[in-house]
Amino acid sequence: MSANPPLRHLLEVDDLSAVELARILDLAELTDPPPVLAGSGGVLLFEKPSARTRTSMEMAIDQLGGHPVSLSGSEVGIDTRETAEDLGRLMSGYGRVIGARVFEHHKLERMASVASVPVVNLLSDDAHPVQTLADLLTLRQCFGRLDGLTVTYVGDANNVARSLAIGCGLVGAAFRISSPPGYRFDDTSTDRIRSAGTDLTVVDEPTEAASGADAIYTDAWYSMGQEEEKRIRQEAFARWRVDESLMDAAGDGAVFLHCLPAHRGDEATDGVLDGPRSRIWPQAHNRMHSARGLLLWLAELSTDQDPERGGTS
């Protein structure tokens, strides 16, 4: 009898291999998914607001026969009412997966270090891997492939940008980014992105970054927790707005993506968000399909690992 492989978590996209990521995207498109969560479900913790992530995760759990329980940060009090570790131990007994949206990424690592079920990052200040799964699924549906695409990100080099850049490396897409000085990837993120195999190019001018890209992606200029910086960031990012002329620089075949919620008129104009090249609604709806793919993949792993669920180890 061989030892069980270590429990897998998804805290950042590079927790997956390229093959595993492709498998999740394939499972996301399964039309008749098996009820792998029947009789169980998942616990979802949110220290920050959410519309897409909470709804898509809850629906995905339901579609797999499970029951989702969502709790706000103020209810559970991560590290105020009880520690992240104790919540990891607690919630491991109530469901087959723990999802958590937190400010400090380290809280996820601490939860995962003791949890006996997979911990999934539902957005931290550092990373948003479940968003990247939907982004890549959308791009694959738009272009029929991911390998060889060029994704240009215009705006804040934030959690969404970092996970997407890493994901691009895993699927063979090049990643270009244009951000104002002071809002670019730090050395740690740059090293991590390049370690994932990403062909990363940093370009000063947004128009130059857009030229010839297959997709233009942007996100909020100020993320959750940065609201006090709104004014200063609006000034700093004014030249990094995605408008029709920037989309024209990309070319006719380019699509526009945004993780949403959008701050209309800031990072993107209405004309782009609602325009013919925008794929933001299929992208948002793919949050549910890719979440289901992720949960199916995690269930496959647990079957492999647990003899009582049909595994062989």
- Contact between 224 and ligand NVA by CB under 6 A: the answer reads yes
Q: Which of 52, 128, 241, 292 is catalytic?
A: 128
Q: Which of 54, 219, 241, 289 is catalytic?
A: 219
Rounded-to-integer distance, Cα 153 and Cα 141, Å: 19
Give SS3 for 93.
coil
- Contact between 163 and ligand NVA by CB under 6 A: the answer reads no
- Contact between 132 and ligand CP by CB under 6 A: the answer reads no
How near is the Cβ of 132 to ligand NVA at its closest, in Å?
Answer: 12
Tokens 């087959």, residue?
Answer: 96
Q: Quote the tokens at residue 307.
A: 């003899």
**63 is a catalytic site residue:** no
Q: Quote the tokens at residue 309.
A: 């669920």
How near is the Cβ of 103 to ligand NVA at its closest, in Å?
Answer: 9
Q: Quote the tokens at residue 169.
A: 């490396």
Q: Quote the tokens at residue 200.
A: 């990363």
69, HSE (Cβ side, Cα atoms, 13 Å): 14
CA distances from 105 to 46, 63, 122, 124, 310 (A): 13, 28, 10, 5, 34
The binder of 286, among ligand CP, ligand NVA, none, by C-beta within 5 to 8 A per type, is: none
Q: Which of 13, 160, 209, 242 binds ligand NVA (CB under 6 A)?
A: 160
Q: By the 8 A CB rule, do 200 and 177 touch?
A: yes
CA-closest candidate to residue 295, choices 58, 48, 87:
58
Nearer Cβ to ligand NVA (92/121) = 121
Q: Which of 52, 96, 126, 131 is catalytic?
A: 131
Q: Which of 131, 152, 163, 179 binds ligand CP (CB under 6 A)?
A: 131
The binder of 51, among ligand CP, ligand NVA, none, by C-beta within 5 to 8 A per type, is: ligand CP
- Contact between 123 and ligand CP by CB under 6 A: the answer reads yes
CA-closest candidate to residue 101, choices 44, 179, 174, 26:
44
Nearer Cβ to ligand CP (215/249) = 215
Q: Which of 132, 223, 269, 290 binds ligand NVA (CB under 6 A)?
A: 223
Query: What does the binding site for ligand CP look like in residue numbers (CB under 6 A)?
Result: 50-53, 123, 131, 259-261
